[in-house]
Structure 1
Amino acid sequence: MVNIRDLDPSASPLDYYGSELRRLREAAGLKQGQLGACIFCTASLIGQIETAKKVPTRNFSERVDAALGTDGVFSRLVGLVLKSQLPSWFQAYAEMEARASFISTYQAQVVYGLLQTESYARAVLGADRPDNLDELVAARLDRQRILAKDHPPALWVILDEAVLHREVGGREVMRNQLRHLLRFREQRWTQIQVLPYTTGEHCATRGSFNLLRFDGDPDLFYAESYDVAHQTANPQVIRERSLGYARLQAAALSVEDTAVVIARVLEERYGDQPEPGEGAVA
C-alpha cells in the first residue's frame, strides 16, 4: 500500500484530488469508513482515491462535497482529474472542443464520442485492451457534459452508413446506441445525418475529421490516426475542409430521412422497435 504522505500533490490532478480528500476528511474528524458510510461507499474506495490508486467519478465528488460541506471543491476538481486521464495527444483537442460554439464532424468508423452511450464507448475504447479502461470511459462520458450546458455548442454530425451496421460491443449495445441517436431528434442544437452507401466516392474518403468554430477565435481543423493528432487553424485548410463538409452535407440524407434509416437498421439488423415517435417522419 502506498503511503499517502509520500504523494506529491503537485504531481498530477489525481494526486492533488487524493491529498485534498484526505486533508478535508481528517479536518472534518472522519475516518475513511465513516465518510464511506455517509456517501454510501466502502472505506477501501476512499482509501484508493486518497492514494491516487483509483479515479473518482463525478457522482462520488458531488456526494463528498455534500458530506464534507466543501462548497463544490471536489465537483470542480474532478473535471481536471478526468481530463488528465485522456491520452496526452488528445487533451489539447478536448480543451478546444469544450470551448467551441459550433462542432462539425464526419465519422467513418464509429459514432462520434459526444454521442456514444457508456457501453458503446467501453467497447470502442476497450478494443486495444488498455489498463485504464474505466478511467478512459469516465473521461469520454465527462466530455459529453458540454451538450447539457445552458448554452451548448451547435453540433452537426455526419455518420457514414457503415457506422450503423458495424456491430460494436454486440447486438444489445448497438440497439441502445441507435436508440440513443434517435433521441437526439428532440435536441435543437444537435443534428445527425447519414452518408448513404449509394454516395460512392466522396471528399472524405481519407477518413474522419472535425471542424470547430469559436466565438472570437480562428476555426480549427482536427483529424487523428493511431495515437497521432493533427490540428491546424491554417486558413487554406479550413477553407478546403469547410467546403468539403458542405459537400458531405449535401450528399447525406436529410435529418428526417436519417432518422428513418436508423430506425430501419435498428429493427432489421438488431431486432428492435424504436420508441414511439423516434422513427416517425411528419
Structure 2
Amino acid sequence: MVNIQSLDPTASPLDYYGWELRRQREAHGLRQGQLGEIIFCTGSLIGQIETTKKVPTRDFSERVDAALGTDGLFSRLIGLVLRSQLPTWFQPYAEMEAKASYISTYQAQVVYGLLQTEEYARAVLATGAPDDLESLVTARMERQRILERQQPPLVWVVLDEAVLHRPIGGLGVMRRQLAHLLKFTGHRWLHVQVLPNQAGEHSSLAGSFNFLRFEDDPDVVYTEDVISGHMTANSETIKEAALRYARVQAAALSVEDSAELIARLMEDRFGDRSQPEEHPVA
C-alpha cells in the first residue's frame, strides 16, 4: 500500500497549496501522472509539489487552473506561496513594497531587486549559499510583478556608479543586466538615475536604503545589515531619509545622461569578449 504523506493545510502557504492540489486532482479522478500529461510535466513533479518538496511556479499554477477548471485558485495562491519563500526577516518589507504607491531607493552595491534580471538575481542570491536557490530566485522574480499592474507604483531608482562596474555573474550576465536597465529609458512609471563616481562624498555614504510611500498609511524607510532588514515609520527618521534621498538625487546624473552612461559601460566594459568569462569568488 502506498504511504501518502499527510499535510497540514494550515502550516504554511506552501502546505496549503500542496494539500489543495492533491484534493482538486483527486476530486477530478486523476492520478499524478495523468495530471502531469495534461499540463505537460511529470507525475513526479506533481507529487513533489503536493508534498511540498518542490515549490510551484506561476506558469505551473496557471496550467493547473486551466486543466482542473479551478477559476484561478492556484494562480491566486502562488503569490502567497512564493512570498513565503523569501527570508522571514524580508517578508514584511515585501508585503509593504507590494502596497506602496511610490518607491524610491538608493542602491550602493547591487541593482535594485525589482530591476534585476533572473540570471543577475541568481548570482546575487547565490552568494548567501542558500539551501534552495531556485525558490529564492523565483520569489524575487515574483516581486517584480508589481511593475506589471494596471496602476503600478511610481519607482525612482538611484544607482551608485559602482553598481554598474561590478561584474556580478560575469561579463555576459552584467551586459544583459545593463541592457535591461536601458529598457526603462523613457518609462512613464519608472526612472533610473546614476550617482557618478565624480560626485565624491555624498549624503548616503552609510549605504543603501528604500523609501516607501502609501496612499493611506505612513511612509516607511527600509535598510539592511549583513543578516537582517529594518523598517521604520519614525517621523524623524522619515524626514532624515527624505532629505538624504533628495540630496543623492540632486547629485545624480539626469535620467537621460544616466542612460548614456549605462549604454557606454555596457559596450566598453561588458562588450563581447573572445576570452572565456571568469567568476571570481570573494
What TM-score do you get using the length of structure 1 for normalisation?
Answer: 0.94
**Separation in structure 2 between the aligned mates of residue 94 and residue 71 of structure 1, nearest angstrom:** 26
- The answer to whether 1:230 aligns with 2:230 is yes
Q: Write the mapping of 1:119-130 to structure 2, written as runs, cut at 5 A.
A: 119-130=119-130
Structure 1 pair 3–164 and aligned structure 2 pair: CA distance change class (3 A):
farther
Q: Where in structure 2 are the equivalents of 1:1-282 lying within 5 Å?
A: 3-271=3-271
Shift of 1:186: 3.8
What is the count of residue pairs matched by the alignment? 271
Deviation, structure 1 residue 128: 1.8
Deviations 1:98-127 (A, max 9, x none): 000000000000000000000000000011
CA RMSD, Structure 1 to Structure 2 (Å): 1.1
- Residues 3 and 136 of structure 1: CA distance in aligned 2, closer, same or farther (over 3 Å): farther
Amino acid at match of 1:38: I
Q: Could you tell me how far apart the structure 2 residues matched to 1:76 and 1:100 are?
A: 20
Residue equivalent to 1:280:
none
With over 3 angstroms needed to count, the CA separation of the structure-2 counterparts of 1:4 and 1:218, relative to structure 1, is: farther
- Paired residue secondary structure (1:262): helix
Q: Which amino acid aligns with 2:92?
A: A
In 2, the alpha carbon distance for the partners of 1:261 and 1:77 equals 41
Code of the aligned partner of 1:111: V
**Rounded Cα–Cα distance in structure 2 between residues aligned with 1:146 and 1:4:** 37
Instruction: Find the counterpart in structure 2 of residue 275 from structure 1.
Output: none
Tell me the CA shift for residue 219 of structure 1: 0.4
How many Å separate the matches in 2 of 1:4 and 1:139?
Answer: 28
- Counterpart contact for 1:108–1:163, Cα < 8 Å: yes
Q: Tell me how far apart the structure 2 counterparts of residues 4 and 17 of structure 1 sit (CA, whole Å).
A: 16
Contact 1:57 1:138 in 2 (8 A): yes
Alpha-carbon displacement from aligned partner over 1:206-247 (angstroms, at most 9, x marks no partner): 000000000011100100112221111111111111011011
Deviations 1:38-68 (A, max 9, x none): 1110111001000100000000000000000
Q: Which amino acid aligns with 1:132?
A: D
Give secondary structure in 1 for the equivalent of 2:11.
coil
Deviates more, 1:225-234 or 1:91-100: 225-234
| Percentage identity across paired residues of the two chains | 69
Change (3 A) 1:112 1:3: farther
Other structure's SS at 2:207 match: coil
8 Å contact kept, 1:4–1:50: no
Unaligned runs of 5+ in 2: 273-282
Q: State how far apart, in whole Å, the 2-side matches of 1:172 and 1:161 are.
A: 18
CA–CA distance in 2 between the matches of 1:149 and 1:3? 43
User: How far off its partner does 1:161 sit?
Assistant: 0.1
* Aligned structure 1 segments of 4 or more residues deviating by more than 2 angstroms: 2-6
Aligned residue identity for 1:13: P
- Decide whether aligned partners of structure 1 residues 3 and 9 sit closer, same or farther in structure 2, where only a CA change above 3 A counts: farther
Deviation of 1:5 (Å): 3.8
Return the offset for 1:129.
Answer: 1.6
* Residues 118 and 141 in structure 1, CA contact (< 8 A), matched pair in contact too: yes
TM-score, L = length of structure 2? 0.94
